[in-house]
Structures are given as structure tokens and as C-alpha cells.
Structure 1
Amino acid sequence: MHEHTKRICDFLTEINLPFRFKDVETDSFLPGLKTVNGTLYIDNEKLLYPGDILHEAGHIAVCEPIFRPQLNGDVYKNGLKNGREKQAMHGEEIAATAWSVAATSYLNLPIEVVFHEKAYKNARESLIDAFNTGGLFGQPLLTAWDMTCPREGFPKMQKWIRTHRWINELS
């Protein structure tokens, strides 16, 4: 097992984010990773990039709690099946990205672990630049969901798993 994979999985255990080492037999959005009923399956033999674990775990962590057990496969496709608003899913995508960057900071890993050479469809460099220069990309949602530390702000986190039901407060 790659050193980064071990550190990341130890972190997931520490924050009680559900994951299992399991063969991922089907094609998945990211090689070696699959979300099943809100649990992240990790196939260490097929996993190409340890940082992908953080991004997929970020989807589980930032999902509104009542919908978390319904996360399966490609989480973008889930949003429309279970009645969630597409806009909420896009917000969770950018929040999951920010969450994964906060996790790299917490774990003292380089940001390139998440933004590896095959990540984010050619947006890798601009995302690295945005996070390194204090640009806002997902952090406001983590703040709205009371996940970041009030005094220190991003990337310091006070909660790694979302408990805040923000959508209902908007109606």
C-alpha cells in the first residue's frame, strides 16, 4: 500500500468516514474507487492516485446527512435520482474539492496529491493556483455548513463530516 494511501485511510478512520477495502469489479468514475450506500470502497490494486480517495471521501463528507446513505456510484448522477436539486450537487462538488484540499493540509501532504497530473480535466494548475493564493473555491460552503474553524478559517476544519441541513433553511 502506498504511504499516502495509508495516511489517508488512517485519517478516514479518525474522522469516522465509512470506507472498506474491497474489490471494485465494475467500471467506476475513478479507478479503484466506488461509493456504495454512502460507504467508499477502495480497491488498492486498481487505485491509481491516493488523492482520489480524498476527493471521493469529500463527496461523502459534505453530502447533506439525510442523503448520504443514498450515494452510489457517480455522485453527480445520484443527485437527480433521489430528488436532490442539481444545483446542490454542483455545490457539493466544489465543496468536496475544498474539503480534500483541507485534508491534505491537515495530513501535511502536498496539494498535488489531490491535484495530480490526471486530475480535474486540465483545470489542475488553475485549481492549485486558486487554493495557493487564497481564491475561493468551495470554502464558503464549508463555512456555511459550520465545517471550517470560525477563527482560523479554511483550511482549518472544526468538523470533517457535515451535520448542517442547509437546504431546508433556504425555504
Structure 2
Amino acid sequence: MHEHTQRICDFLSEINLPYKLHSVEADTFLPGLKTVMGTLYIDTDKLMYPGDILHESGHIAVCEPIYRKQLHEDVYKNGLKNGREKQAMHAEEMAAIAWSVAAIQHIGLPIEVVLHQDGYKGASSNLIDAFKSGGGLGYPLLDAWEMTCPKAGFPKMKIWIRERRWINE
């Protein structure tokens, strides 16, 4: 197993995010990764970029708790079938990016591991610049869901798995 993959899996174990090292036979959006009923399956033989583990884990971590177990294969297709709103799912996409950036910094690996050149539809360098300059996207949602540390703010996290459903619960 690649050193980055091992460090990322150790982190997932530390925060109790459900994952399994498991063969992934079908073609998937990200090679070697598949979400099965809220658990991330990781096929280390097919995985191309260890940072993709964090992005997919971010989807699980920031998903509304009541929907987490429904995350299965194509998160967007199945989410819409299960009554989730498209806007909420797009918001969670942005939050998953911010979550993965906070996670990679917590682990102590370069941001380029998660925002690699072949990801994010060619926008990875723009995202890297934005996060490195204190901008970025998605982290206000992490604040709203009380996942970041109140005084330190992003990228310091208070909790790694979302517990709250809405901002004013």
C-alpha cells in the first residue's frame, strides 16, 4: 500500500469513518473507490490517487446524518431518488472539497495529494491557490454545521463527521 494511502486510511480509522479495503469490480467514477450504503470501499490495486479517498470520505462525513447510510454508488443519482434536494447535494460537494483539504492538512500531506492535477475538471490549481490564500469554497458550511473549531476556524476541525442537520437546529 502506498504511504499516502496508509496515512489516509489510518486517519479514517482514527475518526471512525466507515471504510473497507475491498475489491471494486465495477467501473466507478474514481478508480478503486465505491460507496456502499455509507461505507467507502477502497481497492488499493485500482486506486489512482490516494487523495481521492479523502474526497469520497468527505461526502460521507458531511452528508446529513439521516441520509448517510443511503449513500450508495452514484451519490447524486441515488440521493435524488431518496428525496434529497439537488441544492443540498451540491452544497455537500463543496463542503466535501473543504473537508478533504482540512483532512489532508491535518494528516500533514501536501494539498496537491487531494487536489491533484487530474481532478476537479481542470480546476485543481485554482482550488489550491484559493485554499492557500485563505479563500476556497465549502468551509462556511463546515462552520455552519459546527464542524470547525469556533476560535481557530477552518481548517481546524472540532469534529470530522457531521452531527447537525441544519444551521439553526
Equivalenced residue count is: 169
In the other structure, the counterpart of 2:102 is: 102
User: In the aligned structure 2, how far is the partner of 1:168 from the partner of 1:19?
Assistant: 30
d(CA) in 2 for partners of 1:129, 1:74: 29
User: How far apart are 1:79 and its partner, in Å?
Assistant: 2.1
Question: Which residue does the alignment assign to 1:35?
Answer: 35
State percent identity of aligned pairs: 72
Range with greater deviation from structure 2 (159-168 or 134-143): 159-168
State the one-letter code of the partner of 2:34. K
Paired position in structure 1 for 2:62:
62
Q: What amino acid maps onto 2:150 in structure 1?
A: P
C-alpha deviation, 1:168, in angstroms: 8.4
Find the aligned partners of 1:167 and 1:28 in 2 and give their Cα distance: 33
In the aligned structure 2, how far is the partner of 1:141 from the partner of 1:28? 27
Matching of residue 48 in structure 1 with residue 35 in structure 2: no
Question: Which region of structure 1 is more displaced relative to structure 2, 76-85 or 61-70?
Answer: 76-85
Tell me, yes or no, if the aligned pair for 2:127 and 2:136 is still in contact at 8 Å. Answer: no
Report what 1:91 is aligned to.
91
Q: Following TM superposition, by how much is the alpha carbon of 1:136 offset from its aligned partner in structure 2, in angstroms?
A: 3.9
For 1:128, the aligned partner's letter is: I
1:6 CA drift (Å)? 0.2
Task: Give the Cα–Cα distance (whole angstroms) in 1 for the partners of residues 104 and 95 of structure 2.
Answer: 14
SS at match of 1:35: strand
Deviations 1:60-109 (A, max 9, x none): 00000010000011212222111000000000000000000000110111
* Letter matched to residue 9 of structure 2: C
The whole-number CA distance in structure 1 between the counterparts of 2:77 and 2:3 is: 32
Change in 2 beyond 3 A, CA 1:167/1:78: farther
The C-alpha deviation readout for 1:29-49, integer Å capped at 9, x for no partner, is 100000000000000000000
Shift of 1:138: 0.2
Gaps of 5+ in 2: none
Q: Secondary structure at the match of 1:41?
A: strand
TM-score, length basis structure 1:
0.96
Output the TM-score relative to the length of structure 2.
0.97
